[in-house]
Amino acid sequence: MNKNSRYTLNDGHQIPVIGFGTWQMPNDESTTKIIEEAIHVGYRHIDTAAIYGNEEAVGQAIKNSPVKREDLFITTKLWNTEHTYAKAKQAIDTSLEKLQLDTIDLYLIHWPNPIDYRENWQEANAQAWKAMEEAVQAGKIKSIGVSNFMPHHLTALLETAQQKPVVNQIYLNPSDAQPEVVKYSQSLDILLEAYSPLGTGEIFKINELQSLAEKYNKSVAQMALRWSLQKGFLPLPKTHTLSRVAENIDVFDFEISMEDMKQMDRLKDQAGQAINPDETTF
């Protein structure tokens, strides 16, 4: 595996094995510049969302990039207020426009149970999914998937879905490896994307990880990202610091031993946990 490697999704499309996260990045030139740098050092996959409010800045970086559009992979997500057929259809067009793209590579339902649809989330997701499937037919989106879905959300979606989700993007790092969601998603051939692979910065507080990193002569970030790749996940590290952009993709020249992977598995609950999607306030 190297930085150009790709996983094959269950719909046949390919996806780069590591992506660049953009949550909490402003919609301005600083984000455009950092994404240009990410593409320059070898990232080919950018993860944004309508709610991040930075699709324009991301789109500008894609436009400025010397890398051909077909060699880049762009993900964005449907926000929680838009879970009706008509609203989802409109949200897809709005994202395409803000990103200045003809096609989105991957479009996700961001959360399964928004507060606005708590009484009928199953129907809301089915409606949004229908709009997404039609957008695939129309050539506006290549692949569709979900985020923060637990097994019961997946089961409900599959009752009416024509197409199965290709990914489930969830909170995943050694502090919370979400074994049940992982097992269920994998049983359906749904790829796990690891969001907050560095625990939104919390992972750096784990002393044991620091010692392991020293053993491999790697950074704590590189250890956590390598752990994710060796689990078969697709990590989405975010950084708004220029010097860290290259560090976070420099994870393909070493292997964590099985024993040390197990030690990392035991770091559970030391740097945060996934939130329960059925209890969110948004």
* Active site (catalytic) residues: 52
Token pair for 128: 């949004």
Spatial separation of the C-alpha atoms in residues 35 and 26, rounded to whole Å = 12
List the structure tokens of 65: 């990039």
Binding site for ligand NAP (CB under 6 A): 21-23, 47, 110, 147-148, 169, 195-201, 204, 219, 221, 236-241, 244, 247-248
| Distance in Å, CB of 15 to ligand NAP, minimum | 14
Work out how close the CB of 77 gets to ligand NAP at its nearest, in angstroms, rounded to a whole number.
6
Residue 239 beta carbon to ligand NAP: minimum distance, rounded to whole angstroms = 4
Q: What does the alpha-carbon distance between residue 269 and residue 267 come to, in Å, rounded to a whole number?
A: 6
C-beta nearest to ligand NAP: residue: 21
Closest CA to 35 of 13, 16, 54: 54
Report the nearest approach of ligand NAP to the CB of residue 75 (Å): 8
- Name the CA radius of gyration of the chain, rounded: 18
Residue 21 or 59 with smaller CB distance to ligand NAP: 21
Please state, in angstroms and rounded to a whole number, the distance separating the CA atoms of residues 41 and 277.
35
Q: What are 74's two structure tokens?
A: 């762009």
Question: β-strand 14-16 against 6-8: which pairing, if any?
Answer: antiparallel
CA 198 to chain centre: 13
With respect to ligand NAP, which residue has the nearer C-beta, 138 or 282?
282
* 131 vs 174, beta carbon nearer ligand NAP: 174
Q: Which is nearer to ligand NAP, 162 or 210 (CB)?
A: 210
